[in-house]
């Protein structure tokens, strides 16, 4: 998917910044060319301020999206998920952040999930950043309760794991 998007916006770096933000946040573009999350409209001026571009860049990007059938389908159907990382401590949940040496490596999520399970820890949520969207992609695991040192040691030995941070 990202290769298609890069090709379409290669000569428009400001619009590419808009696309990255829309995908990162799970924002959609409705039929009127407005950025939305569900039925909640997000002002183009606020988006422009967030990424340091003129508001008209947001307008042009949304127009471009609506003119392209593939882009239109992508941005009508992308969704936001509730990410528990920042609220996990308040809910009594643990947080494990894995920084990979290569985020595109196959099998990292499976290896981490297996290790967590083998230590008797329940995974409540697993979020893997897309290496084509996130500058520093990470794998975030939200666990039922806190994790022990033995699990952390196991995780650091998994091929492809650069570092492990626990909250």
Domain boundaries, the chain: 2-77, 88-166
The per-residue pLDDT for 4 is: 76
d(CA 112, CA 110): 5
d(CA 30, CA 23): 14
Please report, to the nearest 10 degrees, the dihedral formed by the alpha carbons of residues 145, 146, 150, 151 taken in order.
60
Q: Domain spanning 88-166: which CATH class is it, in words? A: alpha beta
* Rounded mean pLDDT for each run of 10 residues along the chain, 167 residues in total: 79 93 94 96 97 97 95 93 94 96 88 96 94 87 92 95 94
The per-residue pLDDT for 5 is: 79
Q: Could you give the angle at the alpha carbon of 42 between the alpha carbons of 40 and 44, nearest 5°?
A: 155
d(CA 137, CA 132): 9
The per-residue pLDDT for 90 is: 95
pTM: 0.79
The per-residue pLDDT for 130 is: 83
């Amino acid at each position: 998917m990202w290769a298609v998007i890069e090709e379409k916006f290669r000569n428009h770096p400001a619009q590419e910044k808009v696309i990255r933000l829309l995908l990162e946040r799970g924002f959609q573009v409705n039929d009127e060319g407005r950025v939305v999350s569900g039925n909640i409209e997000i002002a183009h001026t606020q988006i422009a301020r967030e990424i340091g571009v003129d508001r008209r860049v947001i307008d042009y990007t949304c127009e471009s999206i609506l003119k392209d059938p593939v882009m239109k389908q992508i941005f009508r159907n992308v969704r936001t998920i509730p990410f528990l990382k920042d609220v996990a401590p308040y809910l009594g949940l643990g947080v494990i952040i894995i920084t990979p040496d290569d985020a595109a490596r196959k099998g990292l999520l499976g290896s981490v999930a297996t290790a967590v399970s083998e230590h008797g820890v329940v995974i409540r949520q697993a979020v893997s950043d897309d290496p084509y969207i996130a500058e520093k992609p990470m794998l975030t695991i939200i666990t039922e309760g806190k994790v022990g040192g033995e699990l952390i040691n196991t995780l650091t030995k998994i091929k492809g794991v650069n570092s492990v941070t626990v909250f």
